[in-house]
Amino acid sequence: MTLRIHYYGLLQSPASWARIGRELLPALDRLPVALTAASVKGFGYNQTFPLAPALQTIIDRRRTPYDIVLSFTHPATYHRHNGKKLFAIMTYEAESLPKAWVSNINTFAAALFVPSRYVHTACRTAGINIPIYTIPHGINTNIFHPKQHHSRALEHSDDYTFLFVGTSHWRKGLHILLDVWMKTFLPNDAVRLIIKTLPVSSKNNRKLKYWEIPDIPKRIDHLQTKGYSILLHTHCIDDTELADLYSGVDAIVLPAYCEGFGLAVLEAMSCAKPVITSAYGGVLDFCNDTNAFLIPAFRRIDTYGVYDAPHEQLITGYPDADSLAAAMKHCFQNRISENIHGRTTALQYTWDSAAQKIYTIISDFSSGHTQTE
């Protein structure tokens, strides 16, 4: 029996969850499914963001009647699919979930696909009572692979170069990185930091969300006036340009409080780049002391680092500043710029494998059989 699946999620955005959809859909389309998709608006949405021809073909298909919805959207939207069998892709960064999410998931979803054991445990802790399946994200190794050339977005420099990739949300730890940077390096050290983000803006009187860091450009300007080599890139780039950016630097530094999976970490590893990241959350499914520089993190109640839960006292990690400083200094002093073990790890994660697991589980549900988690 051919499954009739309609995908609902963000696609035209540099955000990682849009990239997940862009890679997962063509992989699903290689399986015996009748697949259609809706590209919805969300964080970082850009209607001019380029889509691969294979993906555009899926979006442009005439939408025929379908039985199954595969959704990677906010749980508050799940009710829109009432009457269809909904399979939800979801991730979260705290050790539990917002209460409103739990109610929507249990009410409207048939099953939940999460990317890591960390998120699986968080869902059960929060009270999710439907089947939950851990299906790791993949890597497109045709895009994210070691390259010799420098990124066109970067000026060539002999300085040792670190890269931060992520949103300017508190949870991503950019404020921690900037504070530690000033205490670790001197302005005349031959080292620079590239920050690739979409900064928060309060123009047009938009009120900042509590999880957003205000005035990142001002913080960076302050460090630049002191002589530090820090470059801020805020323009929208596609996946190939992101891979070029990884390849054009020496090491990646991502001191997040926690990640539900950590796709940027795995992408950087796929480009054979050293990664400094927090030893907490979903990254521990694929990061260890042989393929990453893991920063110890301590558990704490997070009142503003995670979204949709400002008063729920959820727990996340918090990276140790001294360990972050030591890891960056070690990479800089030893000019470490290659990570063969990371590349080997990343090759184990494919989108075809993720799609096959999703297809098998949905097929079994459609046949009246529920797989064990």
CATH code of the domain covering residue 72: 3.40.50.11930
CATH number for 198: 3.40.50.2000
Give the pLDDT of residue 149: 63
Provide the residue range defining the domain that includes 231.
Answer: 160-346
Q: Which residues contact 18 (CB under 8 A, 6 or more apart)?
A: 9, 10, 11, 12, 42, 44, 49
In a domain, 57, yes or no: yes
Q: How far apart are CA 367 and CA 361, in angstroms?
A: 10
Render 15-45 in DSSP notation, one character per residue.
SHHHHHHHHHHHHHHTSSEEEEEEEE--TT-
Tens of pLDDT along the chain (373 residues) come to 789 999 999 999 999 999 999 999 999 999 999 999 999 998 888 889 999 999 999 999 988 889 899 999 999 999 998 778 999 999 999 999 999 999 999 999 999 999 999 999 999 999 999 999 999 999 999 999 998 766 655 667 789 999 999 988 889 999 999 999 999 999 999 999 999 997 555 455 567 777 888 888 889 999 999 999 999 998 888 999 999 999 999 999 999 999 999 999 999 999 999 999 999 999 999 999 999 999 999 999 887 777 787 778 899 999 999 999 999 999 999 999 999 999 999 999 999 999 999 999 999 998 877 777 7
Q: In terms of domains, do 362 and 321 share one?
A: no
Q: How far apart are CA 22 and CA 307, in angstroms?
A: 24
In a domain, 150, yes or no: no
CA-CA distances (angstroms) from residue 259 to 73, 80, 117, 282?
Answer: 17, 28, 12, 6
Q: How far apart are CA 238 and CA 276, in angstroms?
A: 23
Q: In terms of domains, do 205 and 118 share one?
A: no
In a domain, 287, yes or no: yes
Q: In terms of domains, do 332 and 361 share one?
A: no
Work out the angle between the directed axes of helices 216-225 and 174-184 (0-180°, nearest 10).
10
Q: In terms of domains, do 24 and 172 share one?
A: no
Give the pLDDT of residue 205: 56
Q: In terms of domains, do 93 and 30 share one?
A: yes
Phi, psi of 303 (to 5 degrees): -95, -15
Q: In terms of domains, do 34 and 120 share one?
A: yes
Place of tokens 């002191």: 226
In a domain, 372, yes or no: no
Neighbour count for residue 76 (Cβ, 10 Å): 12
Give the pLDDT of residue 373: 75
CA torsion sign for 370, 108, 11, 7 is positive
Phi, psi of 208 (to 5 degrees): -65, 145
| Number of compact structural domains in the chain | 2
Q: In terms of domains, do 182 and 291 share one?
A: yes
Name the token pair of 221. 């300007």
Name the token pair of 255. 């001191």
Place of tokens 């300007």: 221
Q: In terms of domains, do 49 and 89 share one?
A: yes
Q: 3-state class of 8 per DSSP?
A: strand
In a domain, 335, yes or no: yes
Q: In terms of domains, do 342 and 360 share one?
A: no
Q: In terms of domains, do 12 and 121 share one?
A: yes
In a domain, 151, yes or no: no
Q: In terms of domains, do 124 and 177 share one?
A: no
In a domain, 241, yes or no: yes
pTM for the model stands at: 0.94
Q: In terms of domains, do 181 and 316 share one?
A: yes
Q: How far apart are CA 50 and CA 237, in angstroms?
A: 9
In a domain, 154, yes or no: no
